Structure 1
Amino acid sequence: MEQPIRIRIEQLEDAKDLELPKYMSKGAAGMDLYAHVFEEIILHPGEIKLIPTGIKIALPDGYEAQIRPRSGLALKYGIGFPNSPGTIDADYRGEIKVIMTNWGQDDFAIRRGDRIAQMVINKVEIADWDLVISLDETERGEGGFGHTGN
């Protein structure tokens, strides 16, 4: 098993009572993130709000953090992220905030310390473009959405 990468994290002064992101099981890919709110926030059906987490991170070059919805919140309450997954770049140093939306039918309450999202750390490849006159042919060709019938 590979050694985990070390990531520097800063907890905002008024968020020191919140847990740091953590894996909830041995095989989990994502760490839970916690709501850094001071009073209950109600997310009404159809509404979108930006929820802070109280942390900043410094990812090593060549890595990103993806912010993803929690499956339990999606299934039980219809809570998701309109930009899922959100990407935290290696050079971003601001507070991590989560864009949450309520696709459910009932109001959803967000309280201080609630687990609101997952953060997955990934390696990224940096690409350079090779401009060509035309691309090689494939069996699929330019067949797009639904071209296989399903």
Structure 2
Amino acid sequence: MKCPYCGFDDSKVIDSRPKENKIKRRRECTKCLARFTTFEAVEKPLLMVEKKSGMYEPFDSSKLIKGIYSAIKKRPVTYDQVEDIANYVENHFANDLKTVAKSREIGELVLEKLREIDLIAYIRFASVYEEFTDIASFVEMISELERKNTAPDDKLLEVNENA
């Protein structure tokens, strides 16, 4: 890191701490001993979303957050949880070094997270995402959720059998 005062190429880190999704570092030039602050942020690759129509557009987390918000209206889901879902989706593709994601993959990741947080929000999001065309498909999804939530837990059965 070049010193902003003398231009020398070497500095040492005196203090480092996280601040607003960045890392704030206090540095000291090893030549002139001047101190200065730098900020580090992780650079994420540009993620393109392939829409159902075959068109591409840049990933926009605010657009995803807006879509999730319509599903969580009047539900006990916090803004931080919604933001965490959007970050999870973006990081999922960045960690796999993918620069293109199908909108379907994004929707499935959101559904996975919403299911863990709030089943009503999950159903609301799924009703738009899955494009239900009739009541039967909507009822089928709810029935499937009920079956999964009332299915006996194998670990509980194992504990009860050993008692």
The two structures share one fold, judged by TM-score above 0.5: no
Question: TM-score w.r.t. structure 2 length?
Answer: 0.24
**Highest CA radius of gyration, 1 or 2?**
2
The higher relative CO (CA closer than 8 Å, separation ≥ 6) is in 1
* TM-score of the aligned structures, taking structure 1 as reference length: 0.25
Q: In proportion to residue count, which structure has more helix?
A: 2
